[in-house]
Structure 1
Amino acid sequence: MPSRNVIFVGTARTPMDLVDRLASFGTATVHEAMGRSGYLGPRLRPIWAGARVAGNAVTVSVAPGDNLMAHAAVEQTTAGDILVVSPTSPCTDGYFGDVFATSLTQRGVRALVTDTGIRDVAELKELGFPAWSSAVSAQGTVKATPGSVNTPIVIGSVMIRPGDVIVADDDGVACVPRAQAQHVIDQCEIRLRKEVDIKRAFASGALGLDLYGLRELIDELGVEYSQAPPIPG
């Protein structure tokens, strides 16, 4: 990450046809298709249920308790983006609310992902603006401290670069590196085809022990089957 405060303009983005295809799979499938990587962790939760989106990341590094750079980032957004915000040290203050969401919506931004607090939850739900945050807090912020826009940031041990694809739904948030978007789509499609066959087998009465070859594994691990003892009395 750069040591200076900077706003990078004109950053490359993932083509929207790939972004929208990734949205259709959802967070869990994308995470599994990437070899169980890219998941930003369980702390980020949707502020209202039912949204499923994907978009190009516009990344923001902000100071604790200060949303100045988030406002600066709005100018760098375009339709199909997701604003992704990480504080330089932990902070649960409410960085965003319905007024901020109105500005983002006007520019076609699809959602907000922030490792901070958020507020005006009822109003955001009424607006239909999806957001994922690590906290909900009425505590507001100031606008006084420099930071950076469109530089790499880290949330939940995952590096997020501008133009990476953010996938978010009720299961949480995942990040797909821009260069891997098509490969991840291919892996998601393979995974879904397998799941169709597995669901069909389960529906006909098959057991996971047999479908996944787990009986042999249980035996190798030394797990024994034994008749249950009689119940006393």
Structure 2
Amino acid sequence: MTVRLTGKIAAERIAALDFPRPDQDIIDAFKTIGCDTSMVSDVMDKLGLVGAVGASDLVPTIHGQPIVGPAITVKHEPLRGDDNPNQRAAAGFNGMAEMEAHNLAQPGDVVVIQGVAGLSNMGGVSSTIAQRQGIVGAIVDGGIRDLNLSREIGFPKWATEISPITGKWRIQTTEINGPVNVCGLRINPGDLIVADDTGVCVVPIEHARAVADGCLKMFNLEARRLEAIAAGAHIADLPKA
């Protein structure tokens, strides 16, 4: 894979330029069920997998716009040094490099940021570039800002905080496409992200097909159950398999 880097982050901090992603038919299966995280969570429970975070912790910025796609990951850490953020701001310093992840993304990816609390880890310009590159949404453990712009362009984000305070001169991007931790969940690049108004599910890539198959079975069963309910069936007679 030939990639033109932007120079926003040192090349050695990019753990991988590319990585395996789930097959398209797997992604399509999750779209068929409407990216229903409740259903995904139930199937993951049955398979002994842990990977769901509620929307009370990762709050969606645009309701009614669910997403599914492989994770492309970014790790942010507080920028440490003797100088203060005001001096860095005056000097035009910017330690954030999540845009390099946008640059490396493939259409359909979801950018996932292990961020810094109390600060914006992704703003409006970053969201606009991400959308232009084909990224379908963002998951951020930390703050975000410029909600009006991201809503205007229809770019959904799920975040733990909202803050106008920029991370540009307070945050350093330390790794791209390495493992990250979001709300206690380990996420590797290529893991499948499913998000809706109820929350966010992280499906490890090695289990993505099994979860997708389980979701389709549950989706079809629920459709038959709802049809039977609408037809007046007794509770005891509802389809069970």
State the TM-score, normalized to the length of structure 2: 0.77
CA distance in 2 between partners of 1:205 and 1:75 (Å): 54
Deviation of 1:130 (Å): 1.1
Alignment match, 2:221: 194
Residue pairs, 1:91-170, within 5 angstroms: 91-143=117-169, 145-170=172-197
Structure 1 unaligned regions, length at least 5: 214-233
Kept after mapping to 1: 8 A contact 2:114/2:142: yes
Alignment match, 2:87: none
CA distance in 1 between partners of 2:22 and 2:31 (Å): 13
Q: Report the secondary structure of 1:51's partner residue.
A: coil
CA distance in 2 between partners of 1:98 and 1:146 (Å): 18
| 1:84 maps to which of 112, 116, 125 | 112
Deviation of 1:63 (Å): 0.8
- Does residue 1:38 correspond to 2:46, yes or no? no
Give percent identity, aligned residues only: 29
- Does residue 1:73 correspond to 2:101, yes or no? yes
- Counterpart of 1:7 in structure 2: which amino acid? A
Q: Report the secondary structure of 2:148's partner residue.
A: helix
Q: Report the secondary structure of 1:198's partner residue.
A: helix
| 1:49 maps to which of 63, 68, 77 | 63
Q: Report the secondary structure of 2:52's partner residue.
A: coil
Which deviates more from structure 2 when the two are superposed, residues 47-56 or residues 36-45? Answer: 36-45
Structure 2 unaligned regions, length at least 5: 1-11, 80-93
Number of residue pairs aligned between Structure 1 and Structure 2: 207
CA distance in 1 between partners of 2:32 and 2:78 (Å): 34
Deviation of 1:32 (Å): 1.1
CA distance in 1 between partners of 2:118 and 2:234 (Å): 47
1:184-211 deviations in Å (ceiling 9; x for gaps): 1110111112212332344426448x96
| 1:7 maps to which of 15, 28, 32 | 15
Quote the RMSD (CA, aligned, Å): 2.5
CA distance in 2 between partners of 1:136 and 1:20 (Å): 31
Kept after mapping to 2: 8 A contact 1:16/1:80: no
